[in-house]
Amino acid sequence: MALKPIDNALLLPPETIKLGVNEENKTAESLPPSADPIIDYISSENLEPISDPESKIHGLVEELDSKDWTKVCESLNDVRRFALYHSLLLLPILEKVILVAVKAMKNPRSALCKTSIMASSDIFKVFGDQLLDSTINAFDNLLLQLLLKASQDKRFVCEEADRALNAMVKSMTPLPLLNKLRPYVSHSNPKVRAKAAITISKSVSKMGLEGMNEFGLVSLVQMAADLLNDRLPEAREAARNIVTSIYEAYTRNEEQKQESWQNFCQSSLPPIHAQSMVKITGSP
C-alpha cells in the first residue's frame, strides 16, 4: 500500500503553523528598528587639517557618492576641512562637491541635510566670488536649495540654512549676488520670497550708490516697492530695510537732497508706491 506524503506543516513547531506568510512578515516588520547613529555637528573652529590631503583628495568624490549616508556625512566634513585648510586641492572638483551637497540637502535625513548646509557655509567663506565663475554652474541649484531649506519647518535645518545664507552675503560681492537673487523675489512660495528679500536687503546694505546704479537704481526701488505689499511680514520688513539703505546711499552725497529723493521716487514709481517710499524714509 502506498504511503501518503507527509505534510511539511506537521514538522513545524506549533507557533509557526499558526502564522501565515503575511503574518510572519508583519511580525518582522513590527520589530523596533536599530537606532540611527549619532552624527556630530562640528563647528568650523573645531575642524582640523587633513594629515595627508594629497592622497585623501583622490577618493573624496567617490566617498561622497557612498550609499551609506553616515559615510557621506563624514565625507562632507572632510570637504569642510579641505575648504578651510587645503582649498587649492578642492578647487578643481568644487562643482562636483557642490552637486553632492545639493543632493544631500534634498535627502529626507535631517542630519545629512544639516551637514551638507554646514559644508556650504565653509565653502562660501573660503571661495566667495569664485563660486560665481562661469565654470561653477551648480551655484544656482545651491542657492535655491538654501532658500528652500531656510523656508521649511524643521527649525534646526532652517537656522543652519540662514547661517549659510549669511555666510554667502558676507563673502560675496553684492552686485553679482543680487543678480542671482533677483528671480527669487517672484517665487511662488511666499517663504522663499521672504528669505530672498532678507538676503537681498543684507546685500544692498553693503552697497554704495555706484553699485546700486550699476544694478539699476530704478529696478531696485521697484523691487522694494513690490515687496512692501508682500503677504509675509518678513518680506515687508526686508523691503523697508532695502528702501532705507537706498535712501541713505542716495542722500549721502551732498548734491542729493531729500527733495531730490522724493522726486526720484515719484518719477520711478506709481504715486501710491512713491508715497510709501517717502513715508518710510521720513522725507517731507
Q: pLDDT tens-digit profile of 22-47?
A: 433 333 333 333 345 677 889 999 99
**97-115 burial string, b = 16+ CB within 10 Å, else e?**
bbbbbbbbbeeeeebbbbb
User: Strand runs (DSSP E) across 75-214, as ranges?
Assistant: none
CATH architecture of 174-284: Alpha Horseshoe (1.25)
Render pLDDT for 107-153 as a digit per residue (tens, 0 to 9): 999 999 999 999 999 999 999 999 988 667 899 999 999 999 999 98
* pTM greater than 0.75 (yes/no): yes
Name the residue ranges covered by the structural domains of the chain: 44-172, 174-284
Task: Tell me yes or no: is domain 44-172 CATH 1.25.10.10.
Answer: yes
* Cα distance between residue 273 and residue 266, in whole Å: 8
